[in-house]
A = this chain, B = another copy of it.
Amino acid sequence: MTLPFRRVAVLGAGLVGGSFALAVRRTFPTVHISGWDRSEVLARARERGAIDEATENPASACAGADLVYIALPVEMAIRLMPEIAAAVSPEAIVTDAASTKVAVCTAADAAFSPPRLFLGGHPIAGRERGGIEHADAELFRGAPYVLAKPASAKSTLAAAEERRDARVAGFLEMLGAIGARPVWLEASEHDRLFAYLSHLPQLAAVALAETVLDGAGEAAPLAGPGLVDALRLAGSPYDVWSGICRTNPELRGALDELIAALERVRGRLGNAELGDDFERANRLYKMLRRIE
Query: Is there an interface contact between A234 and B284, defined as CB atoms closer than 8 Å?
Result: yes
Query: Is there an interface contact between A258 and B211, defined as CB atoms closer than 8 Å?
Result: yes
A194 CB to closest chain B CB, in angstroms? Answer: 8
Q: Can you name 11 A-B residue pairings with CB atoms under 8 Å? A: A146-B222, A193-B216, A197-B219, A204-B230, A204-B262, A207-B264, A208-B261, A213-B287, A235-B286, A237-B282, A252-B266
Binding site for B on A (CB under 8 A): 124-126, 143-144, 146, 183, 192-198, 200-217, 219-238, 241-242, 245-246, 251-252, 254-259, 261-266, 269-270, 272, 274-275, 277-292
A100 CB to closest chain B CB, in angstroms? Answer: 12
If A207-B258, A211-B254, A265-B255 touch, whether A288 touches B227 (CB-CB below 8 Å) is yes
Query: Is there an interface contact between B211 and A196, defined as CB atoms closer than 8 Å?
Result: yes
Query: Is there an interface contact between B257 and A215, defined as CB atoms closer than 8 Å?
Result: yes
Whose C-beta in chain B lies nearest to the C-beta of A251?
A: B269
| A290: B residues at CB distance < 8 A | 221
A279 to B124, CA, bound (A): 24
If A226-B232, A228-B292, A269-B246 touch, whether A208 touches B278 (CB-CB below 8 Å) is no
A253 CB to closest chain B CB, in angstroms? Answer: 9
A251 to B269, CA, bound (A): 9
In this complex, the member of A193, A278, A280 whose beta carbon has the largest number of chain B beta carbons within 10 angstroms is A278
A208 to B259, CA, bound (A): 9
| A278: B residues at CB distance < 8 A | 206, 236-238, 241
| A228: B residues at CB distance < 8 A | 288-289, 292
Query: Is there an interface contact between A238 and B275, defined as CB atoms closer than 8 Å?
Result: yes
In this complex, the member of A231, A256, A280, A284 whose beta carbon has the largest number of chain B beta carbons within 10 angstroms is A284
Which 7 pairs from chain A and chain B are nearest by CB? Answer: A238-B278, A196-B215, A209-B281, A196-B216, A235-B285, A207-B261, A220-B287
A234 to B233, CA, bound (A): 16
A29 CB to closest chain B CB, in angstroms? Answer: 29
| A235: B residues at CB distance < 8 A | 281-282, 285-286, 289
The answer, among B209, B221, B291, for a CB contact under 8 Å with A285, is B209
A232 to B269, CA, bound (A): 21
If A211-B254, A265-B207 touch, whether A291 touches B221 (CB-CB below 8 Å) is yes
